[in-house]
Structures are given as C-alpha cells and as structure tokens.
Chains A and B, each alone.
Chain A
Amino acid sequence: MLDLFLFVGLPYIALVLMVVLSVYRYRTQRFTYSALGSQFLESNQLRWGSLSWHYGILILLVGHLIPVLLPGVWQALTSIPAFLIGVEVIGIVAAFLALTGLLVLVYRRSTSARVSAVTTTADYLLLILLIAQVLVGVSVATGARWGAIWSTSTTTPYLWSLATFQPQPEYITGLPPTVKLHLVLAWCIFMVVPFTRLVHIFSVPIAYLWRAPQKVVWTTPAPRPSAACAPQFQGRDSRRYFIRGALGTAGALFLLSIGVLEKLGRFFRGPSLNAQQQAELLQKKLERLELAAAERALEIERIEKDYIFVAQLAELSDTDGKYFTDYHMRPALAFKDERGLPLLISAKCTHLGCTVASTIANGRILCPCHVSWFDVKTGMPTPGAPAKAPLPHIGWVLMDPAGNLVASQGAGAAPSGEIDIAQAGSYGVYIAKQFEEIA
C-alpha cells in the first residue's frame, strides 16, 4: 500500500503540482522566475560552489536521462565493460563534484552575512533535499553497483509505465531501500520546484553556454586593479604574486615527486611474489619455453628431413581440419577428401596472412580476419572476398607402418600409387620436401 502511494500516487501528485503551480506562478509572479542569483553579494565562494554543483548535476542528469530515453542503445553500450566502468567513474566523479558544490553553497549561505540575509527557509529546505538526494545517489552507486546496467530493466520500464499512464510499480518494489529512497526524494524535489528558486530550470539558460560572459559588478569604483593589465607582473603586487606562485609550484612539485618517487621506488624494488606465485610464474615461463623449443624442433625437422609426419590417415576428418606446419613454417590444414585420401591445404590466408579457421562449412573454410571463404577442394576464395588468390594445396605422401611409400600426390598433380583399403587406417600422412622444391 505504501509502495503504491510512494511510487504511483506521489509521482503523479508531484508532477501535477509542479506543472500546474509553475504555470500559475509564471502567470501571477512572472518576475520571481529566476535563480535569484546572489553573485553581487558574494562571488568568490559562489564561483566554486555554483560551478561545481551545476557541472556535476548536469552530467548526472544527462546520465540519468539517456538510459530512460534510449534504453536499447544504452543496454548495448553498457555491455562493453570499458564503457560501463567509464560511465560509473564519471558518475561518481560528478556526484562528488555536485556534493562539494552543495557543501560550499551551504557554508556560504550560513557564513556570509549578506547572503544569509536574503536566504529563505525554502532555500535551506531545497539545499538539504539536494544534499540528501546526492548522498543517497552515491550510496546507491556504491551499495547497489552497476546501476547503469540494472536500471535498464527496472527503473526505466517503471518510468515508462508512469509516462504511458499504465503504472507498474512492480518493476521497482523489489529494489534495495536506498534506490527507493532515491526515487521518493526525486519526486519530492519535483514537487518543491514551483515553491523555490528551482523554477529557473524552466527558463533553461542554454544560451549561457555560448553567450559572452556577463558579470554583475558594483557600479561604484572597483576595489581591485583593472583587469586589463595583468596584475601578476605589475607594480608592488608582483612580489606577492611571485612568492605565492613560487610556493605553490614548489609545493605541487614536492607532492608530485613524492607520488612519483614512491611509485618508482616500488617499481625498482621489483616483484614481490610468494612461493606459490613464483612457482606459477616459472611454470608459465617453462610452458612457453617448451612451446618455443617445439617450434625450434619443427624448424630443424623441416631443414633436415625429406618427409614430415602430419597425422595418421585414420585421424583425419572431412569436416574438422588438423593444423600442421608446412616446410616453410607456415600453418596448414589436413582434411580427408570424399575418396578417403588426404587433402592438405595452406592455412595462411592469401589476403593478409591470417591463419584460416579449421572447420568446414558448405565445403568452405573461413579466414576470420576479413571474412574470406575458401573452397577447400579448389582453394579458390568466393567472389567478392578480400582474398583474391587461392589457398595453395600441399603435396602429400602416404606411408605404411613399415615406412614404405604407398601413394603420393604432388600439389596440383593426380594421385599416384595403389592404396589397400583394408590397410588404409594404418597409413601415415606425410608432407615431402620433393614437392616443395617443385612448387
């Protein structure tokens, strides 16, 4: 029942109040439609407070709006881990920016006598509401992580159900209490819009983004030196500026060097591994060394031997190729053709040299780099593929277990020799140096 009130009744009440009363206020008290800027009362703290608050909250509002307006696009984007992390990081940074700004603004309102004189209860209420909302937002972001993802299947459909007048609070009633509080506070903020200076969001000062900066100043003679001549380098002030600048730079450099030196120190000290990590690392290195050694062995074999074993004929399949390395240390694939004879084909794509995948689909194998399909029988790429030249076939030799040559086929030649079908399973498939030298 309470849920029904908070997530169906309250939003509609808040939105109706906001729209009706804002219009009413505009029609009756038009000149109160303003952010009631107090820059001419105090501008130093305002700069820090107002700027960080507005930049922070605008980023946050955009981040809250996009998932609602473009849920499909957003879902696709957040499935990329880097994007998700990026968005969450930006959100947190913006939240802290907004929070800092709000705290500065509260401090300013309560310490500057001039500003506090024009501050109303509504202003304080609004500030408190906003601070609470940002705090709850941060706790949602940290407590119920990856809101950028889960919001697309919870709050987004909920908001759409409200917008289409078919409210379905079920989407959100199961969410953690912080999320619900965040929503309730949001509706409260909507509700107070017409009673506070928040109405300035309707005057949407977009033009501020590109108009020339305007500054409210006293018309009495300025207490500061004119901005036209850079004060840092003029007159008696210059020494003060110089000392301040030098101290600031020295301090910054000091902090920077502490940070950098700490990192460098740890870097030079090197890895600190426990026994298990060390063993794992060495094991990994050993495996890679063995791989490299196996490569070397293959190279030696290819230089020295006239025949190189590829596979047993019985092992070969007509759909799943077996990778092997040809005489030039290039990858190649071994299949069995429909006659039961070996079919050896280079696996180095003739386009840009990627290794072709080993599975046959519709009589063709695929190079995944730029999607070239090659006919296994002819080696030809399909028309329009990036690869233009065919994958060359490789000559083979069949030998019986005793090492006698049974049959052979040079690349592009007809097979020769007699095959005893009963014995075929025991034959070994070899590549031969003699075919390489002809090719």
Chain B
Amino acid sequence: MSTHDRLQQASDWLHERFPLEKLSFESLFQKKEVPVHHMSWGYYFGGLALFCFSIQLVTGLLLLFYYQPTVADAHASVELITFHVGGGALIRNLHTWSSSAMIFCVLTHLITAFAMKAFERPREITWVSGVLLLLITFGFGFTGYLLPWHQIAVNATKVGLQSVEEAGAYLPGALADIPRQLKELIQGEAAVGQATLSRFYALHVVLLPLAIFAVLGQHLFMVQVHGMSQGVDKPTGKMEKFFPIFALKDFSIWGLVFFVLFVVALCLPFEAFFSYPLFEPFDPQGSTPDGIKPEWYFFFVYYPLELLPFWLIMILSGVVVAVLLGTPWIFKGTSRKTLRNIAIAVTVYLVAMTVFGQQIYEFFKGGSQ
C-alpha cells in the first residue's frame, strides 16, 4: 500500500467519524429524527445526565459563595450554608441529590447505549468519550465527597486513597514504593490533610469541570452530527422528529426530574440515611467511627474489595476499564441480543451490589468467622 493510499484511508476514516458536511441547519434541525421502538426510552438518559450536570453546575457555583476550603473552616462553612443561609440547605441538598441522580443517569445511559449497540461505526469516538465522561463523573463524586470535611468524608477518602498504596505489595523491588508515592502525590502530604483538601477542591471546582467541558463538548458535538443510533436490529420504520416532538418530550422529562429532585431536596437531607456521629467535624486525634462507607455508587467496587483479594480487584478493574474503552472494537460483531443479555447481567450485578452489598458481605464474611 502506498503512502498516498494510507493517507487516503486515514482521511476517509476521519471523514466518516467527523462528517462536517452535516453541520447545516437542515440536517441538524429540520431533518433530524429519532427512531421509535421498544428501547426508545434509552434515548432520554443522555439528556437527563446533561440536565443533572447543569443542576450541579448552577448549585455548585452557588455553594462556592460560602464554602471555605480550609481544614479549620470547611465544616463550619458547610454548616453555615445548611443552617443559616436562606435557601442554603435546599441548594446543598439539591447538589448532593442531583449528584447521585447524575451518576445514576450516566450509568443507565452507558448500559442502554451498550445494549442498543450505539457504539457501532461511525460512533466509536462518541462511545470512548462517553467512557471518559463516566470516569470524570466518578472523579467528581470522589473529590466532592471530601469537601464537607466531616468524619465520613475524610475517613472514606483515606480508605479510598489507601487502596492505591495497597497496590505496592504486588509490585517487585523498587517499583513497590511507587503506589505510595502516587498516593502521597494525590493527597499532597503523608496523611489526608489541608493539602489534600486544597487539591480535591481544585480538582472538583476547576480541573474536572474544565475536563468535563472539553470531553462533553466533543461528545455532544458528535451526537449532533451523527444523530441517534438505530438502536434495534430491525428498525420499526417509525420515526419521530427531533424538533419539536422529541425535544419537547425531553424537556418535559427534565421538568419532571427537576420537580422530583426539588421536592426530595426540600424534604430529605441526604445525611438522613446515616447516623449523626459521621457528620461531626473530622477529628485528627480521635479514632475512626463505625460505619465508614463510600457513596452508594462506589459500592459495586467497594464490597468486592472487602471480599476478594486486592490483586484480583486490581486486575478486574483494569480489565473492565480496558473493555469499556475497547467496546466498539471488541463487540463489533456481537448481536444486539447478546449485548442486551450482557447489559442485563451487568445491571443485575450493579443493583445487587448497591442494594444488597452489606448483606452479601455479611453472608460471605459471616461464614468465615
């Protein structure tokens, strides 16, 4: 193959993935259509994730007005927001509830997109950027958890970061110290302290938002250019116009979700599900209180981490991330039926670990003691 052919091939590849000629009013607005079939509900979750993200953006910016990222003041400033600033409790609750909703939507979006084989050519890059968005979203969750600087926040962060160091035990010789150094690089000092808080704050408020803007921009652009994927093996032939019908439905669902989140945020503080001592300010001199857990959306890796040897989890998570990133090529020839069964199995696993993780843990641990 000559160089010219190779260049031609590369440019064809690029052109197929970035069909810029579709950037016209006609194809973006007038002709855009959404397929109608039994999996159509899956098309709404990407938009919902975007909507939750915009709630996060607005409420997050509002919280910035009063939050103080120092070890001495962080907890007091969060208390000030919750108890003294008008509407502060609502905005903070909205931020926490909507973060959970965002993770839920992102995960559902990923699973339905997988089951609908939405990653098929020419949408590979959209899928990969989606996986990056998932990782960034988890990053938001992990860094944001530390900011209120209460017992559960700091201790759960300690536990999370310590698992980085654990990896050192499986590396030979001089490499064995690298995970520890990596951990200290992340937390900024030997123990979780002011340096960690500053770093996580910077990550949560500046770096991750910049990253998500970049990747999200690319993701949305690709979605606009390529339109909705067909989603099923045998298209029903029924189509819905994107404007105004699908957009209207999308907006009504956003309105409904906002209403639900608003009511929940107004009535139920997120902390209501934990016992109070976990929300006392972090005390570096005291012992760790009972019941330290990560947020529910990390249960699917937290409980296996408790049950299985660490190296196994390390390998498994590496494999999962690799498979996720390589999905468009690994599952190229797989039928939608198989994909759907895989998606169902994954969903069952995620739901079981999230809802019954504690019971599963006790079931297995109870036997060994």
Contacts and interface: CB of A to CB of B under 8 A. Distances in A.
Interface of A: 80-82, 85-86, 89, 233, 252, 262-273, 277, 281, 284-285, 288-289, 291-292, 295, 323, 325, 328-331, 347, 351-358, 367-370, 384, 386
A213 B142 CA distance: 46
B288 A354 contact: yes
B185 interface: no
Interface residue tally on B, bucketed by range: 35 or more
A267 B285 contact: no
A354 B288 CA distance: 6
A86 B268 contact: yes
A36 to B, nearest CB: 34
A358 B287 contact: yes
B125 to A, nearest CB: 35
B364 interface: no
B141 interface: no
Contacts of A288: 71-73, 75-76, 281
Closest 5 CB pairs of A and B: A266-B86, A271-B84, A263-B87, A82-B272, A292-B72
Among B73, B87, B193, the most chain A Cβ lie within 10 Å of the Cβ of: B87
11 contacts: A80-B273, A81-B272, A285-B72, A285-B73, A288-B72, A292-B72, A325-B284, A358-B287, A368-B287, A384-B369, A386-B306
Interface stretch (B5-13, B154-162, B315-323): B154-162
Contacts of B292: 354, 369
Contacts of A356: 287
Contacts, number: 121
B98 to A, nearest CB: 14
Interface in B62-112: 62, 65-66, 70-73, 75-76, 79-80, 84-88, 90-91
Contact of A267 (B73, B86, B189, B284): B86
Given A292-B194, A370-B306, 13 more contacts: A85-B272, A263-B91, A269-B86, A271-B85, A271-B88, A273-B84, A284-B76, A288-B73, A292-B72, A325-B284, A329-B193, A354-B158, A367-B288
A295 B255 CA distance: 48
A288 B290 CA distance: 23
B289 interface: yes
A86 B269 CA distance: 11
A41 to B, nearest CB: 31
A354 B155 contact: yes
Contacts of A265: 86
B159 A353 contact: yes
Contacts of A357: 287
